[in-house]
Amino acid sequence: MYEAEMNDSISSTETLPVEIRKRFAEFRDQITARTLLPWGEHCTECVWPTCYTSCELYSPRIDGACRQFVDGMVRIDHREGLSPYVLKIRFKQWAKLWTVGNLHLQPLSKAVRQERFNIAVGAIGRNVPFPASVKPRVLQKINYLRRCSAENAPASPERPDYFLLECFNPNVTAVTLTFTIRLRDQPETQPFQKMVSVPPGYTRANVPFSEISETVDMAQPFNVEIVPNECDGTILYFGLMDFVRERRESKRENKAASGNKQFKCIVWDLDNTLWEGVLIEGGSENIRINQNVVDVIKQLDQRGILQSIASKNNYEDAMKILRLVGLDDYFLYPQISWEPKSRSIFQIAKSLNIGVDSLAFVDDQIFEREEVKGAHPQITVIDAADSALLPHRPECLVPLTAESKNRRKMYREQEQRETAQDSFKGDYIGFLKGCGLEVGIGTLEHTNLKRVYELAQRTNQLNYSGNRYLESQLMEIMSSRFLETYVIDCQDRYGKYGIVGFAVVDTREPRLLDLMFSCRIQGKRVEHAIVSYLLKRFAGSRNLDFYANYRRTSKNTGAGKVFEEIGFKFVADNDGVQSLVFKSGREIPDDHVINVVVSVANRQ
């Protein structure tokens, strides 16, 4: 569902390319049930209702809420899709898709009927000629009741398999989305977060429910957020965004016989297939790589067809050879063990989140091919002697595009994320270190003043002073001789967050007057890294006591613990603003989670 009562824009399905419309429709038979999350537009820094009067960027909708999507949520009806419509959204810098969560799974047919009912009610609310003073309240009430209905829907006895996200990116560059699930009434608890890379073209991403529930107690009320990183004005198209349960006996197996499918992944045997010889018998010195097979692998890789391995071998011995010949990076989720190859095939399909019917298995032994075929009748098995013909098969004749060339890279990045997340297991600092977080520090300039102004207007939970600077005030700060400004950006190995923070230090004392961050970096210890950097700059290298201003609010209390954790002490309270001090000579804590890169020459 979406905020139908707040959006009256409808666009033709013809605005979507034909191949994209097909992609939004192709997964329908795989899903048996879904939730109905009531998605709406929201602000990453919302402090309703006070921000409606305190934020200069507040732009009212008809119901009084803040408009965060430039054109609202433009509906493109698409009855053949997994969702009966696609939503076209043009994001402002601070916008996010947001919804209250539930785990109430409904059959697809019932969900579609509910979607249509919601759209009809929204249209009535918009079009009935209520008095101007009444209509906003009517629309607010409709929206409120719809959210309450979703919020109170009982969880189904069966849990969903995963959260499914469909997205079409019409832009020439990839967009990174931050997917977050956090407990509604316990904001201090650790949320579940995952980066989703959306390259140009269609993307279907899923987040396993088991992975989410390891971090968040899904029996508690929760919210779901999808936030694009660095995409002010960027347009994205969204299909289904819901928890889903997959059909156990897939109808797609029947489609495999139609001859219209395409291979998404080729699974290769190793002995007497990728190389000549048997590794366990003759050792690596008697192995010779089959160059014809290597050429086929590289050709299919360029077309965006993924590669993996199912081989009965010792993992380290086989991977050592692949690394020596520079082929190890071509294979995603390789299954090299003494398990039956049918189990390896199943694990590869599960890891890649694709159907077994979209795999092809290449092996030189008829026994192995028949064992796999017996367990997975829908799979295509190919004799290794025929592997040179693979690029010419109809299932492999796919167009060569920029998206296809990057497909392996995208899956490789996802594999790295999952490895980093799996290694977390309670060691959150260790997990963050594996993310490769890097913070850049520059000064306030005309080129970034607009972005900092928006940051000052929007930040709440991570705003330590409560100041909301006007552009004219920022201009004055920029020209001051004794005020140093710090404009902070952030990135990790999965993507860029853009400008996420701003600090002001009065060098005469020295004193931290302002420190503010976007909620997008909450929990990543960026604030710890910046405060430690400032302490090293002043209390360390100059041997000065370093002071900080902190105005405690109901929103920033949790974030304010950074001062206590680092070692600041309370000095005084001046009209609600606490004065804190870090004495020179003390050891400056640094957990070495984040690499700080200073881009200004005079800052050592």
Residue 425 counted as domain residue: no
**251 pLDDT tier (thresholds 50, 70, 90):** very low
Q: What percentage of the chain has pLDDT greater than the value 90?
A: 38
Q: Report the candidate in 562, 587, 583, 560 with the shortest Cα–Cα distance to residue 571.
A: 583
Greater pLDDT, 89 or 459? 89
Q: Where are the alpha helices (DSSP H) in 46-156?
A: 51-54, 108-127, 135-152
Adjacent-strand bridge partners of 88: 74, 237
* CA pair distance 519, 136, nearest whole angstrom: 29
Q: Do 157 and 86 belong to one domain?
A: yes
Tokens matching residue 524: 């990543």
For residues 426-452, give the mean pLDDT. 84
Cα four-point dihedral sign 186, 188, 191, 196: positive
| Mean pLDDT computed over 206-226 | 90
Residues 84 and 109 in one domain: yes
Residues 149 and 269 in one domain: no
How far apart CA 350 and CA 397 sit, in angstroms, is 24
Q: Which of 246, 275, 297 is the last residue of a domain?
A: 246
Residue 418 binned pLDDT confidence (cut-offs 50, 70, 90): low
Instruction: Please report which confidence band the pLDDT of residue 257 belongs to, taking 50, 70 and 90 as the band edges.
Output: very low
User: Which residue matches tokens 């209905």?
Assistant: 149
- pLDDT over 70 at 377, yes or no: yes
CATH number at residue 441: 3.40.630.30
471 and 380 within one domain: no
Q: Is the residue at 238 inside a domain?
A: yes
User: What CATH code is carried by the domain that includes residue 194?
Assistant: 2.60.120.260
3-state SS string for 255-321: HHHHCCCCCCEEEECCECCCEECCHHHHCHHHCEECHHHHHHHHHHHHCCCEEEEEEECCHHHHHHH
Domain coverage including residue 266? 253-412
Question: For the chain, what percentages of helix, strand and coil (3-state, to nearest 5) are there?
Answer: 35, 30, 35
pLDDT the model gives residue 30: 85
pLDDT value of position 7: 66
Domain membership of residue 417 (yes or no) is: no
Residue 422 in domain: no
| Same structural domain, 165 and 238 | yes
Q: pLDDT band for position 6 (50/70/90)?
A: low
Tens of pLDDT, residues 508-524: 989 999 999 887 777 78
On whether both 92 and 213 belong to a single domain, the answer is yes
Say yes or no: 60 and 120 in one domain: yes
> Would 420 be classed as within a structural domain?
no
Question: Same domain, yes or no, for 294 and 396?
Answer: yes
What is the number of structural domains in the chain? 3
Residue 469: predicted pLDDT: 87
Q: Which residues of 62-83 are buried (b: 16+ CB within 10 A; e: fewer)?
A: bbebbbbbeebbbbbebeebbb
3-state secondary structure at position 549: strand
Assess whether pLDDT exceeds 60 at residue 603.
Answer: no
Q: Do 15 and 92 sit in the same domain of this protein?
A: yes
Of the listed ranges 29-38, 186-195, 238-247, 265-274, the least confidently predicted one is 186-195
Q: Tell me, what's the pLDDT at 529?
A: 93
Residue 426 resides in a domain: no
CATH code of the domain containing 350: 3.40.50.1000
The mean pLDDT value for 578-596 works out to 90
Mean pLDDT calculated for residue range 221-236: 87
Over residues 309-329, the mean pLDDT reads: 93
Q: Which helix (H) or strand (E) holds 246?
A: strand 235-246
Pair 446, 380 in one domain: no
Instruction: Classify residue 534: in a domain, yes or no.
Output: yes
Percentage of the chain beyond pLDDT 70 is 89
Q: What is the DSSP string of 460-477?
A: -TTBSS-----HHHHHHH
Give which of 226, 164, 160 is closest to 192, Cα–Cα: 226
445: left (phi over 0), alpha (psi -120 to 50) or beta: beta
- pLDDT tens, position by position, 484-540: 999 999 888 767 788 889 999 999 989 999 999 887 777 788 999 999 999 999 988
User: Is 257 found in the same domain as 242?
Assistant: no
379-406 per-position pLDDT tens digit: 999 999 999 889 888 888 865 655 566 6
Q: State the Cα–Cα distance between residues 182 and 418, nearest whole angstrom.
A: 19
User: Is residue 206 domain-shared with residue 315, that is, in the same domain?
Assistant: no
**423 lies in a domain?**
no
- Of 198, 218, 246, the one marking the end of a domain is 246
Choosing from 246, 275, 292, the residue where a domain stops is 246
